[in-house]
């Protein structure tokens, strides 16, 4: 007998019983970057959203560290939109 696979929302609900599940999303640009942190419980809820001037940071990691400095909990996944091609795991922004 085949074991039924759980749906995405089923997996998240199961995990939410243990701890808060969060997702990080970002729109990364040459002049500004916008980050948002979401929780999920049958629907996505914005926990925090912030915009950063890209010129004030040396890397995307630096922006993310500042954004998450006061957050607790585990980020389950992250997704970023970038203004250019990613080659060998790196992207040079347009500005």
The mean of the pLDDT values for the chain is 81
| pTM metric for this prediction | 0.72
22 has pLDDT over 80:
yes
- 47-68: average pLDDT: 93
HSE toward the beta carbon, residue 12, CA cutoff 13 A: 17
DSSP the chain: -PPPPPPHHHHHHHHHTTS-EEEEEEEE-SSEEEEEEEEESSSEEEEEEEEEEGGG-SSHHHHHHHHHTT--SEEEEEEEE-SS--BTTB-----
Cα 28 to chain centroid distance, Å, stands at 11
pLDDT band at 74 (very low <50, low <70, confident <90, very high): confident
Query: What percentage of the chain exceeds 90 in pLDDT?
Result: 38
């Amino acid at each position: 007998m085949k074991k039924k696979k759980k749906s995405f929302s089923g997996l998240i609900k199961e995990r939410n019983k243990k701890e808060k599940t969060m997702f990080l999303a970002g729109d990364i640009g040459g002049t500004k970057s916008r980050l948002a942190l979401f929780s999920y419980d049958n629907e996505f809820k914005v926990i925090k959203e912030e915009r950063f001037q890209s010129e004030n940071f040396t890397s995307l990691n630096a922006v993310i560290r500042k954004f998450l400095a006061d957050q607790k909990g585990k980020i389950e996944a992250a997704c970023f939109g970038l203004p250019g091609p990613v080659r060998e795991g790196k992207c040079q922004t347009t500005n």
